[in-house]
Amino acid sequence: MMADFLRVQDGVAVEAWSEPEGFAIDECFTPEFVETFHPRGSADIGWIWNGAQFSAPAGPSLDELKAAKIAAINIQTEEVLAAGAAADGLHIALDADSRADMGAMATTAALALSGATEWPDSYSRGWISIENIRIPLDAPADGIALAAGVGDYYARVRQNSRDLKDDALAARTEEELNAVEIDSGWPDAA
C-alpha cells in the first residue's frame, strides 16, 4: 500500500506515512507535527516542498556533470597510460620516472650519435619492458627510435585526453556532454 502523506523537514520530504486504519493523522500526532505532513500525490521522499506543492529535486547542474565527466576522462587517461606504450610486442612504462629515464637514454643516444660519448653497455643490453623482458638497443639509433615511439604514444594519449576534456567543457547541454565518449580516440597500445 502506498503511503498517503509525506513528512517535510527543512523543505524536503523525509518520510512517507499512512494513517493507521481507523485513525486520522491529526489523532496520531501533535498539531505542530501534523503540520509537517502533506498529501503525497505522486511525490516521493527527497522531493521539495515549497509551502504549497511538491516538486522533484533538481538533478546535478551542467557544471557538476562536466566535472564528473572530466574526472572520468582523467581515470580513463591513467588506465591507458598504466597499460604502457607498445614496443616490439611488449610495453614500456609511462610513469614519470620511466619517462625521465627514457629521456636520459635518448639524450645519451643523441650524444653517442654525435660522437660526443660512447653508447654505454648498460643501454645496449636493452630497455626493460613492463613484462620484465629486455628490448634490444644495439645502437644509439635503436634508443632514439624507441624513445621517439614511446614519446609519440604518450603525447597522443595526453592530446586525446585534452581533446575529450575540451569537448566536455564546450558542451552547452547535458545531451552534448553525454555525446562525449570517453572511450574514443585513444591510440592503440597493442
- pLDDT tens-digit series, residues 81-90: 999 999 999 9
Mean residue pLDDT of the chain comes to: 93
Is the per-residue pLDDT at 1 higher than 60? no
Q: Of 164, 184, 181, 178, which is closest to residue 62 (Cα–Cα)?
A: 178
| Alpha-carbon dihedral sign for residues 55, 61, 64, 68 | positive
Cell digits of residue 136 = 634490444
Model confidence pLDDT, tens digit, residues 8-58: 999 999 998 888 888 888 888 899 999 999 999 889 999 999 999 999 888
- pTM, two decimals, is 0.73
Q: What is the dihedral of CA 183, 185, 189, 190, to 10 degrees?
A: 80
Give the per-residue SS3 of 27-88.
HHCCHHHHCCEEECCCCCCCCEECCCCEECCCCCCHHHHHHHHHHHHHHHHHHHHHHCEEEC
* CA 141, chain centre distance (Å): 38
pLDDT tens profile 61-101: 899 999 999 999 999 999 999 999 999 999 999 999 999 99
